[in-house]
């Protein structure tokens, strides 16, 4: 038997990834840049055994159905092929997410699965190689291999599409991200379907792609110079442009809700009143707010005047993927 257990943290893209160039290999249309967070993580153990006759997948201690298990099995096949292994595996995955956080766990989940399978099979992958493997399960997972800031370089092939860490001389430790959870229900349109519809039909999508390189350059410069205002401005702009592409899709759609608008308008009001903070949103209604750690408490006080305490979740910078155990029996 071969076993590996890993912890991986989720990340939030500051410069967004939206759209796939290659659906099967999950190669994106554009580079993206993210911040890994400490509040949300997944722990996964993969145990390969000659005693098993099929793969088993447990999520939060519940045995999953054949559909969910098939996705895990297909991913494990990639690792098994690298190791020339034919053994089946039991996968036990636990998500550690604050109650009602409404945060998709695919980034941390697939990064943890990649790490645990790699550890169990003793693949001894570099960070870039592990990032490539994680990408095959979920695009955003490739960035969760790293702590702090990372950039997913889209590349042109399976070999060249992976994330790399971005050195910031401690700048990430000056930041907080506050989640305003306005809805944790399942989305009407999945991220995958939303991306595909936008790429294929949105009149605004070409404009989005043209501006991403400039946004990435602004973000890299802001990180290098520890310029919070510049990073916040380009983060908010990237989110707004990404969501703008969905309004010009056929048929049009949006992930925003009335509560999303309320939160975004409140951020603008707080900023106009002199407290620098900037919002971002992924493919869902919940709003994430980037703020300097020194201003975290002041922002929380302003948010709690308008939202219930359980709707507001605080996160700080998270570490890189961590191997918790490796065993051979």
Q: Give the CATH number of the domain where residue 281 resides.
A: 3.30.70.890
Q: Are residues 161 and 182 in the same domain?
A: no
Residue 44, pLDDT above cutoff 70 = yes
Task: Specify which residues 179 forms β-bridges with.
Answer: 288, 313
Q: Longest C-alpha distance within the chain, in Å?
A: 64
The CATH number assigned to the domain holding 57 equals 3.30.230.10
Same structural domain, 100 and 15: yes
Instruction: Report the residue count for the chain.
Output: 329
Asked which of 114, 139, 170 is the last residue of a domain, the reply is 170
Mean pLDDT for the chain?
95
Residue 326 confidence (pLDDT): 86
Q: Which of 149, 170, 191 is the last residue of a domain?
A: 170
Residues 303-316 have pLDDT tens digits of 999 999 989 999 99
Sign of CA dihedral 17, 20, 23, 24: negative
Range with the poorest average pLDDT among 113-122, 182-191, 285-294, 299-308: 182-191
Same domain assignment for residues 192 and 139: no
Nearest to 276 by CA among 263, 260, 293: 293
pLDDT band at 98 (very low <50, low <70, confident <90, very high): low
In this prediction, residue 97 has a pLDDT band, given cuts at 50, 70 and 90, of confident
Is residue 138 a part of any domain in this protein? Answer: yes
Which has the closest alpha carbon to 187: 92, 106, 109?
Answer: 106
Mean pLDDT of 57-69: 96
Question: Would 104 be classed as within a structural domain?
Answer: yes
Please compute the mean of the pLDDT values over residues 210-226 and round it to a whole number: 98
Count how many domains the chain has: 2
**The three-state (H, E, C) secondary structure of the chain, written as one string:** CEEEEEEEEEEEEEECCCCEEECCCCEECCCEEEEEEEEEEEEEEEEEECCCCCCEEEECCEECCHHHHHHHHHHHHHHHHHHCCCCEEEEEEEEECCCCCCCCCHHHHHHHHHHHHHHHCCCCCCHHHHHHHHHCCCHHHHHHHCCCEEEEECCCCCCCCEEEEECCCCHHHHEEEEEECCCCCCCCCCHHHHHHHHHHHCCCHHHHHHHHHHHHHHHHHHHHCCCHHHHHHHHHHHHHHHHHHHHCCCCCCCCCCHHHHHHHHHHHHHHHCCCCEEEECCCCCCEEEEEEHHHHHHHHHHHHCCCCHHHEEEECECCCCEEEEEEEC
In the predicted structure, residue 113 carries a pLDDT above the cut 80 = yes
Examine the domain organization and report whether 205 and 155 are in the same domain: no
At residue 101, the pLDDT reads 55
Closest residue by Cα to residue 104 from 38, 176, 20, 12: 12
In a domain, 321, yes or no: no
Predicted confidence (pLDDT) at residue 110 exceeds the cutoff of 60: yes
User: Would residue 323 count as lying in a domain?
Assistant: no
Note whether residue 285 is domain-resident.
yes
Mean pLDDT of 81-106: 84
Query: Both 214 and 273 in a single domain?
Result: yes
Lowest pLDDT segment from 33-37, 43-47, 247-251, 323-327: 323-327
State how far the Cα of 229 lies from the Cα of 70, in Å rounded to an integer: 45
The confidence score (pLDDT) of residue 111 equals: 98
Is there a single domain that holds both residue 59 and residue 200? no
HSE on the CB side for 23, CA within 13 Å? 8
Residues 241-279 as b/e (b if ≥16 CB within 10 A, e otherwise) read bbbebbeebeeeeebbeebbeebbebbeebbeeeeebbb
**Residue 104: band (very low, low, confident or very high) from pLDDT cuts 50, 70, 90:** low
246-297: per-residue pLDDT in tens? 999 999 999 999 999 999 999 999 999 999 999 999 998 999 999 999 999 9
pLDDT of residue 328: 79
Domain that holds residue 95: 2-170
Q: Would you say residue 191 has pLDDT above 90?
A: no
Residues 253 and 161 in one domain: no
**C-alpha count within 13 angstroms, C-beta hemisphere, residue 283:** 24
Are 127 and 91 within one domain? yes
241 and 263 belong to one structural domain: yes
Q: Are residues 182 and 132 in the same domain?
A: no
What is the structure's pLDDT at 105?
79
Q: What is the mean pLDDT of residues 188-195?
A: 89
Last residue of a domain, one of 126, 149, 170: 170
Residue 326 counted as domain residue: no
The verdict on residue 307 lying in a domain is yes
Q: Assess whether 191 and 263 both reside in one domain.
A: yes
**Among 94, 87, 83, which Cα is nearest to 73's?**
87
Same domain, 159 and 183: no
pLDDT class for 1, splitting at 50, 70, 90? confident
Query: Is there a contact between 111 and 8 (Cβ–Cβ < 8 Å)?
Result: yes
């Amino acid at each position: 038997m071969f076993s590996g257990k890993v912890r991986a943290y989720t990340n939030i893209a500051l410069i967004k990834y939206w759209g796939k160039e290659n659906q099967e290999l999950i190669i994106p249309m554009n580079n993206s840049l993210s911040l890994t967070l400490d509040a949300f993580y997944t722990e996964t153990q993969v145990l390969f055994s000659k005693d098993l006759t099929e793969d088993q997948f447990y999520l939060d201690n519940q045995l999953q159905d054949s559909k969910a298990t098939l996705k895990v099995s297909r991913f494990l096949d990639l690792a098994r092929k690298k190791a020339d292994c034919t053994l089946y595996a039991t996968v036990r995955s636990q998500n550690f997410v604050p109650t009602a956080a409404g945060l998709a766990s695919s980034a941390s989940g697939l990064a943890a699965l990649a790490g645990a399978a790699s550890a169990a099979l003793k693949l001894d992958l570099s960070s870039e190689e592990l990032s490539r493997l994680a990408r095959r399960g979920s695009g955003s997972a490739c960035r969760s291999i790293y702590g702090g800031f990372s950039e997913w370089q889209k590349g042109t092939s399976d070999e060249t599409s992976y994330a790399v860490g971005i050195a910031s001389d401690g700048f990430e430790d000056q930041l907080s991200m506050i989640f305003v959870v306005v809805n944790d229900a399942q989305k009407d349109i999945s991220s995958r379907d939303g991306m595909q519809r936008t790429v294929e039909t949105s009149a605004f999508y070409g404009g989005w792609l043209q501006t991403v390189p400039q946004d990435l350059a602004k973000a890299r410069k802001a990180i290098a110079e520890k310029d919070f205002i510049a990073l916040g401005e380009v983060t908010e702009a990237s989110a707004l442009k990404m969501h703008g592409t969905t309004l010009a899709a056929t048929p049009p759609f949006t992930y925003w809700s009335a509560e999303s608008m309320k939160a975004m308008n409140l951020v603008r009001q707080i900023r106009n009143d002199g407290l620098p903070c900037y919002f971002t949103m992924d493919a869902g209604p919940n709003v994430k707010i980037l703020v300097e750690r020194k201003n975290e408490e002041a922002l929380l006080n302003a948010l709690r005047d308008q939202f219930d305490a359980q709707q507001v979740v605080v996160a700080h910078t998270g570490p890189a993927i961590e191997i918790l155990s490796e065993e051979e029996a």
